Amino acid sequence: MDNVPFLLLLCAAFSCAFLADTRQNKEGDMQLIQKYLENYYGFKKDGEAFIWKSNSNYTGILNVKTICYMVILNYTPDLHPADDNAVIKKGLPVWSRVTQLKFIKKDRGDADIMISFATRGHNDFIPFDGPGGSVAHAYVSGKDFGGDAHFDEDETWTKSTEDMNLFYVAAHEFGHSLGLFHSKDTNALMYPAYRKFDPSVFPLNQDDINGIQYLYGNSQLLINSYPTESKDSALPNTSGPDLSFDAVTTFRGEIMFFKDKHFWRKYPAVKTADFNLVTSFWPWLPPGVDAAYEIPEKDKTVIFKGNEFWVVRGDTILPGYPQKIYTLGFSKDVTKIGAVFYNANEGKAYYFIYHNLSGFFSLDFLYYFHGRKQFEFDLDKKRVTCLLKTNFWFQC
């Protein structure tokens, strides 16, 4: 039993995410908790009964393969509904990436995990307390409220690291929905205090992973492919002379530079750049983007990987994607797009297949990238006006 992680204590009917300056829950009497779980959640001491609300597939004591969730019973006015949905879609794969879990969205009826926003008393006997303090809570799986996650609408919910980041809190609460208790590890996602986090780093640490894998088994994916503690070893040197990119595009006024499984986001007039995992922004997108371009008048970005492409709007992948690149008119012998230049004046995209180009974008000039070099091109004069280093945009 020495190797059973702290996270495995299924000893609360609910758990809350707290602000950093609030007190933490103390462990209650284990016998009382066990009796509570037996009476209200069907969790017997021998571990043979662990109830989900829908007919999920069982392969072990708690090794449920498929869990249904509903997005979202009501939306927070702090974010656009599409952003709410996208955040939830990002929060659930945090746990499925390291287990054999599969989450399926239900648009109506009952589901294992029901998600809602509320203030103060909201008919579950655990009222919220206004801004600060308890920001959310979730119930361990079971009947009625079991598995559900509630978020305090008195908080200011955001997609950024300012105020209360909905993705981070939701991922934490889904851990409770799946059966995890709070962790004593201050670096764990399941630590009971909300803290600032680095969105470029995979949010689970080893204590989180040990706990969820004990309940649901290991994933086919290699967790080592994601940084869990520090991004330093994976962070390319933006000041180095050998910097190159896999793809470059504009994105809602920013410039995106893709490299391996990461990307930088940068406003042209701002010195600093945000560094992220591709999967932290688009969870269903494979890492290693080959090419990308923006269609600004439609608020769409097209992303290519191998012989497939995705169309995204913000951090949401549009329905019907991915599609094969031959649907764009290419021969099936074409297995990869190298770069794309989109001419907004013409409404046409120009594809480069066999050239060693990594991307284009237009500001006052057209910029295109070739290996470790960047070219500034004047479309009116139809000539290159300046040769730049690839790290030009990073103020090195």
Binding residue ranges for Ca(2+): 78, 112, 129-130, 146, 148, 152, 155, 246, 290, 292
Q: Which residues are annotated as a binding site for Zn(2+)?
A: 122, 124, 137, 150, 172, 176, 182, 190
Phi/psi at 4 (nearest 5 deg)?
A: -75, 120
Tell me if residue 173 is catalytic: yes
d(CA 334, CA 269): 38
Alpha carbon of residue 321 to chain centroid: 18
Of 160, 217, 151, 214, whose CA–CA distance to 183 is shortest? 214
Where does the chain have alpha helices with state H? 30-41, 81-91, 93-96, 166-177, 206-216, 278-281
d(CA 286, CA 56): 27
Q: Tell me the three state secondary structure of residue 289.
A: coil
The sign of the CA dihedral 234, 91, 211, 173 is positive
Residues 349-367 as b or e (16 or more Cβ within 10 Å = b): eebbeeeebbbbbbeebbb
Residues 25-62 as b or e (16 or more Cβ within 10 Å = b): eeeeeeeebeeebeebbbbeeeeeebebbbebeeeeeb
How many CA atoms lie less than 13 Å away from 237 in the CB half-sphere?
A: 4
d(CA 162, CA 252): 20
In sequence order, what are the residues at sequence separation of 6 or more whose Cβ sits closer than 8 angstroms to the Cβ of residue 29? none
- Point out the catalytic residue in the list 48, 173, 297, 376: 173
Tokens at 249, concatenated: 């595009």
Query: In this structure, are residues 282 and 263 in contact, taking their beta carbons and an 8 Å threshold?
Result: no
Residue showing tokens 């602000």: 19
d(CA 171, CA 333): 41
d(CA 340, CA 72): 36
d(CA 303, CA 300): 10
Catalytic residue annotation: 173
